[in-house]
Amino acid sequence: MPKDFYTNNNLPEAIYPSCPINRVLEGQTAIVTGSSSGIGKAVAIELGKAGADVLINYSSNKQSAEEVAKEIQEYGGKAFAFKADVSSEVEVQAMFSEALNQFGSLDILVNNSGIQQDAPIDEMTLEQWDKVIGVNLRGQFLCAREAIKIFKKQGVKPEISCAAGKIICMSSVHDIIPWAGHVNYAASKGGVLMFMKSVAQEVAPHRIRVNGISPGAIRTPINHEAWSTPEAYADLMRLIPYKRIGEPAEIGRVAVWLASDNSDYINGTTMYVDGGMTLYPGFESGG
Ligand code: BGC
């Protein structure tokens, strides 16, 4: 269990829960985009622990993707790495047909791929804008479209799940918290929020569930700068009422629950997994 090495409050040490392994996704198959590192990797591993077969999508780091696949195989599931840029229509289509070739069906899509390319707005290049919107928003559309085609064709298989398919859209607290210096990222995540809800409304009659997860500050490479020194960590804690950073596996476990029949009546909802970051921490005192 990782120790909170930068505890800056009077708790003895931050406590991270461990959870028993629960095979709630036995017999189900999943695609997790961007799962060679960070939150996507943890989501893929937790799905694997829960019994799912998983396609590990990556854009450049083949070796890490293969390591994630290997770890899932150790839990007894099938898993393989597949390179595809989620903003490319042909590459996304190739990925979905390979998943069907290898697994024979698809039950879960975790639309996770996301990048940041930060700059003040008057210095942001069109390339930085297009790249972030391309991966974070267009990528979610391209993948959801392919998954929904498959889910509609398959219909409900009651022995597998109450739903014909489940989509989880990885968003961010920045789908509702504005973020200066990151306008491309915040705009993409605001887009993901309304994309998720609109798709959920459209496909619910087909028994397809679409939900979002909005992580706050999670210990991954994307925000290394915000937690890797005691000063930065202390600064970050001003934004988190729960006074600790989140761990990737904590997002993974929420994904497992949202993908399982335990959440079957949940549709079009976002789970904010953020230690209270969206609770206006500036108002802890004053106002
Ligand atoms: C961003 C991180 C940031 C967190 C909280 C995430 O969506 O990718 O860089 O630390 O939001 O601000």
Convert the pLDDT of each residue in 174-189 to its tens digit.
999 999 999 999 999 9
If one compares 15 and 86, the residue with the highest pLDDT of the two is: 86
Convert the pLDDT of each residue in 113-127 to its tens digit.
999 999 999 999 999
Judged against a pLDDT cut of 80, whether residue 8 lies above it is answered with no
Mean pLDDT score, 190-200: 99
pLDDT of residue 15: 60
Fold of 24-276: Rossmann fold (3.40.50)
Is the shortest distance between the CB of 172 and ligand 1 below 6 Å?
A: yes
Residue 13 — very low, low, confident or very high, per pLDDT cuts 50/70/90? very low
Judged against a pLDDT cut of 60, whether residue 4 lies above it is answered with no
Three-class secondary structure of residue 183 per DSSP: helix
Please name every residue paired with 170 in a beta bridge, in sequence order, or none if there are none: 213
Is the shortest distance between the CB of 226 and ligand 1 below 6 Å?
A: yes
Task: For the sheet with 29-32, list strands across it.
Answer: 79-83, 53-58, 29-32, 108-111, 165-170, 208-215, 270-273
- Structure tokens that stand for 34 in this block: 């961007």
Convert the pLDDT of each residue in 243-284 to its tens digit.
999 999 999 999 999 999 999 999 999 999 999 999 999 998
Residue 221 to residue 3: CA distance in whole angstroms: 18
Contacts of 249 (CB under 8 A, 6+ apart): 42, 45, 46
pLDDT of residue 227: 96
Residue 96 — very low, low, confident or very high, per pLDDT cuts 50/70/90? very high
Q: Which of 118, 169, 172, 251 best tests ligand 1's pocket when mutated (most atoms within 8 Å of CB)?
A: 172
Distance 255 CA to ligand 1 centre (A): 18
Catalytic residue annotation: 185
Q: How many CB atoms lie within 10 A of CB 274?
A: 21
pLDDT of residue 91: 99
Judged against a pLDDT cut of 80, whether residue 74 lies above it is answered with yes
The structure tokens 């998943």 sit at 99
Convert the pLDDT of each residue in 40-56 to its tens digit.
999 999 999 999 999 99
Please name every residue paired with 190 in a beta bridge, in sequence order, or none if there are none: none
Distance 215 CA to ligand 1 centre (A): 8
pLDDT of residue 20: 73
- Structure tokens that stand for 218 in this block: 């999670």
Half-sphere exposure for 5 (CA within 13 Å, toward CB): 9
* 12-26 burial: b if 16+ Cβ within 10 Å, else e: eebeeeeeeeeebbe
Contact 51, 45 (CB under 8 A): no
Mean pLDDT score, 108-137: 98
Which among 87, 144, 69, 72 has a CA at the least distance from the CA of 111? Answer: 144
Is the shortest distance between the CB of 222 and ligand 1 below 6 Å?
A: yes
Domain positions in the chain are 24-276
* Alpha helices (H) along the chain: 38-49, 62-74, 89-103, 126-133, 139-154, 183-203, 224-227, 230-237, 248-259
